[in-house]
Amino acid sequence: MNRTLSVPSVKSRRTREAGILTLLAALIVIIFIVSMNTGFMRLSPLDVLHTLLGEGTKQQKLILFDFRLPRIVISLLIGAGFAVSGSILQGLSRNALAEPSTLGINAGAGFAVLIFISFVPATTAGPIFVLPLLALAGAALTATLIYFLSYRRADGLSPTRLILIGIAVGAGIYAFQLILSLRLDPQNYQFVAIWLAGKIWGGDWRFVLALLPWILILLPFAFYKARVLNVLNLGDETSKGLGLPLERERLLLLAAAVALAGACVSVSGGIGFVGLIAPHLARRLVGPRHQIMLPAAALIGALLLLTADSIGRWILQPTEIPTGIVVAIIGAPYFLYLLAKSKA
């Protein structure tokens, strides 16, 4: 394996990887700052600085600490979450086109949240912490369904079939969503419609808190399992030969990917393509080793979503474009480009 390569090349690769990660982090910081300055109220960079140092007016503090910052943090967390979820799914299925939305997992999570919203009146306080759990349940159910539908005794789990079935199940869930949303009253319908379009609506620290545990546990878990993903990529035979308990590891990783996607969907609604693009770019920048590829993908995902969210807020002021729409318009062409290039 790569380890056996000569020392200087490992060293130069390490430097390069570190450089890229630093660069990504720097870009995030820059967009972070720009995003803090973006919005309906004009806050100059100087105002932002003053406010950060605790010298702003009450209004400025409110806008920065209570409205803009939580949303920025949520964008970062969701972007990283979708990206890592997509990376794991791509690693598991050995298919470059896998991601939570093509596999129908986002749709399942969304559907669970939609059911909850339709039957629990909007006035009930505190569904915020319930939503990730619900979305998780929906995502897990869908993943199980897709798994069983695409599993065949003869040739096991074919990656292409997995994706096709994922698309079909997604379409089916969409049909049920349509029927169900007809029964919602307009207020709730509006909420659901915007949420399904992928608008980050939880502009509140409590949403950060609801999401944070999932990210804090699952991201390090994925990084910890990076080696397993590397081995899985070598193919089933090799993995078995290397003494890996194949099915157990696969199931664990799949569960982590589904949980990440579910938790993110519960806060952000259906945002596709992030989980697809981020791993790809990461692989191009730092190569396929998951130890470095996963953190890079997480950073790229965070960067992508933060940028999309800032564009969505900025481009049509004061109207906001749901982040999901921005991501789709940026992401779909990239997806098509990958598709045209791929050999699968």
Partner 1 sequence: MFSFNLQRSGSMKLAMAGLMTTTLLLSACGNNNAANNEAAATTAPAATTEATTAPAETAVEQTVTDAMGHKVTIPANPQRVLASYLEDYLVALGVTPVAQWSVTNGTMEYLAAELKDIPTISYDLPLEAVTSFAPDFTIVQSEGTVQNGLYDQLNKIAPTYVLGDEVSKDWRKSLLKIGELLNKTPEAEAAITAYDQKAADAKAKISAAIGDESVAILWLVSKSFFIVDETRSSGAVLYGDLGLKLPNLVTEIPAESRATWNPISLEKLSELTADHIILVNSDGADAAEVTDGAIWKGIPAVKAGNVHEFGRATSWLYSGPIANSKTIDDALSSLVK
Partner 2 sequence: MVSSTRSNLNPSKAAEDKPIKSRPVAAATILVLGSAAIVFGLMLSVSLGAADIRLATVWEAVFRFNPELSQHQVIRELRIPRALAGALVGACFAVAGAIMQGMTRNPLADSGLLGLNAGAGAGLALAFAFAPSLSFMYIMIYCFIGAAAASLLVFGIGSLSHSGLTPLRLTLAGAAVSAMLLAVSQGIAILYHLSQDIAFWMAGGIGGANWTQLKIMSPWVAGALIGSLVLSRSITLLSLGRDVAAGLGQRTRLVQTAGMIIVVILAGAAVSTVGPIAFVGLMIPHITRYLVGVDYRWIIPCSAVLGSVLILFADIAARMINAPYETPIGALIAVFGVPFFIYLASKRKGEL
Where along the sequence are the contacts to partner 2 (CB under 8 A)? 97, 102, 149-150, 152, 155, 158, 160-161, 163-165, 167-169, 171-172, 174-176, 178-179, 182, 197, 272-273, 316, 319, 321-322, 324-325, 328-329, 332-333, 335-336, 339-344
Which of 12, 59, 160, 238 binds partner 1 (CB under 8 A)? It is 59
CB of 68 to partner 1, least distance (A): 8
Task: Map the footprint of partner 1 across residues 288-307, applying CB under 8 A.
Answer: none
Q: Which does 272 bind (CB under 5 to 8 A by kind): partner 1, partner 2, none?
A: partner 2
Q: Which does 223 bind (CB under 5 to 8 A by kind): partner 2, partner 1, none?
A: none
Q: Is 2 in the site for partner 1 (CB under 8 A)?
A: no
Q: Which stretch binds partner 1 (CB under 8 A): 17-25, 28-36, 58-66, 93-101?
A: 58-66
For partner 2, the closer of residues 60 and 118 by Cβ is 118
Task: Map the footprint of partner 1 across residues 318-337, applying CB under 8 A.
Answer: 318-320
Which of 133, 147, 149, 203 binds partner 1 (CB under 8 A)? It is 203
Three-class secondary structure of residue 156 per DSSP: strand
Q: Is 181 in the site for partner 1 (CB under 8 A)?
A: yes
| Cα distance between residue 109 and residue 86, in whole Å | 15
Backbone φ, ψ for residue 193 (5° rounding): -60, -45
| Cα distance between residue 25 and residue 28, in whole Å | 5
Q: Is 207 in the site for partner 1 (CB under 8 A)?
A: yes
To which H or E segment does residue 151 belong? strand 151-152
Helix axes 105-119, 246-268, angle to 10 degrees: 50
CA atoms within 13 A on the CB side of 84: 36
CB-based contacts of 194, cutoff 8 Å, min separation 6: 201, 269, 322
Which of 1, 154, 178, 340 binds partner 1 (CB under 8 A)? It is 178
For partner 2, the closer of residues 8 and 186 by Cβ is 186
CB-based contacts of 213, cutoff 8 Å, min separation 6: none
Q: Which does 21 bind (CB under 5 to 8 A by kind): partner 1, partner 2, none?
A: none
Burial class (CB in 10 A: 0-12, 13-18, 19+), 109: buried
CA distances from 167 to 68, 279, 333 (A): 35, 20, 18
| Cα distance between residue 165 and residue 206, in whole Å | 36
| Cα distance between residue 242 and residue 244, in whole Å | 6
Binding residues for partner 1, per CB under 8 A? Answer: 39-41, 59, 62-63, 66-67, 121-123, 125, 127-128, 178, 181-182, 184-191, 193, 201-204, 206-207, 318-320
